[in-house]
Amino acid sequence: NAGVTQTPKFQVLKTGQSMTLQCAQDMNHEYMSWYRQDPGMGLRLIHYSVGAGITDQGEVPNGYNVSRSTTEDFPLRLLSAAPSQTSVYFCASQGHSSGANVLTFGAGSRLTVL
Amino acid sequence: KQEVTQIPAALSVPEGENLVLNCSFTDSAIYNLQWFRQDPGKGLTSLLLIQSSQREQTSGRLNASLDKSSGRSTLYIAASQPGDSATYLCAVEDTGFQKLVFGTGTRLLVSP
């Protein structure tokens, strides 16, 4: 089925470990982004990309890296995990529907850092 | 900095009621506003998108309005059903950027 696929769905890390959250979309969307969702905070933008080879920082980029080598994939890397990065992470892609931008979200990745 | 607020934080109604969810934003220079639904443990599903030049959008029992000058949007749900139980989020996209600023959501419970 067309959409945004995130893996893994759940992950437990120890402080200092590194990992990559994967995100893939098959809708040929140019724009992709990563958000984190924390209780009482709403979703906050981490990084976004307007096309292959182009990335930029969002509201809360510290501690995360991204790259966009293909249109389909937009992985999020945690270089040295910290307990403050415990959150639910959502990847989203954005295309055009009837001339307007509609955001499509993945199912989320729940990360716990001990 | 754009800030988005949603009131109430939680709402419980009996089945069949019409209800209104509110969203306010501090900077009226927005590109568009979207309403999303989030079910527990799931991702977000886009419900309605209102461009800055539009006043409202409708989809089935849902109607969203936008008043940029006052920085407000409402989501009207007609004849609520238990299946409408979810968290509803609004988000604004600032002009010229592909970045959304989200509210913290309204958790809706519709009882049979």
Give the model's pLDDT for residue A100: 56
Residue A44 CA to residue B18 CA, distance in Å, equals 31
Instruction: Identify the pLDDT of residue A97.
Output: 56
Q: Which residue out of A10, A31, A43, A57 would a mutagenesis test of the B interface target, given it has the greatest number of B Cβ atoms within 10 Å?
A: A43
Residue A69: what pLDDT? 96
Q: Give the largest Cα separation in chain A, rounded.
A: 45
Chain A interface disruption, residue of B44, B50, B59, B88, most A CBs within 10 A: B44
Q: How many Cα atoms within 13 Å fall on the side-chain side of residue B11?
A: 25
Model confidence over A9-67: pLDDT tens digits?
A: 999 999 999 999 999 999 888 899 999 999 888 899 999 998 899 999 998 999 999 99
Q: Which of B89, B112, B10, B43 is nearest to A42 (CA)?
A: B89
pLDDT value at residue B97: 58
For residues B81-88, average pLDDT: 97
List, in order, residues 6 or more apart from B74 with CB less than 8 Å away: B20, B21, B22, B23, B64, B65
What is the distance between the alpha carbons of residues A21 and A19, in angstroms, rounded to a whole number? 7
Is B102:B50 a contact under the CB 8 Å cutoff? no
Q: Look at residue A37 in the predicted model and tell me its pLDDT.
A: 95
Residues A66-111 pLDDT 10s: 999 999 999 999 999 999 999 999 999 987 654 556 788 999 999 9
**Chain B residue with minimum CA distance to A98:** B49
Cα of B111 to nearest chain A Cα, Å: 24
Confidence band of B66 (pLDDT split at 50, 70, 90): very high
Q: Which residues of B touch A31 (CB under 8 A)?
A: 98
B80 to chain A nearest CA, in Å?
24
Position A103 scores a pLDDT of 83
Which residues 32-91 on chain A approach chain B with CB closer than 8 angstroms?
A: 33, 35, 40-45, 48, 50, 58-59, 90
State residue B31's pLDDT score: 87
CA angle A96, B88, A47 (to 5 degrees): 55
| Lookup result for tokens 């989809």 | B59
Three-state SS at A13 = strand
Instruction: Measure the CA angle with vertex B93, ends B92 and B96; round to 5°.
Output: 155
For residue A40, the tally of other CB atoms under 10 A from its CB is: 7
Predicted confidence at residue A96, as pLDDT, reads: 62
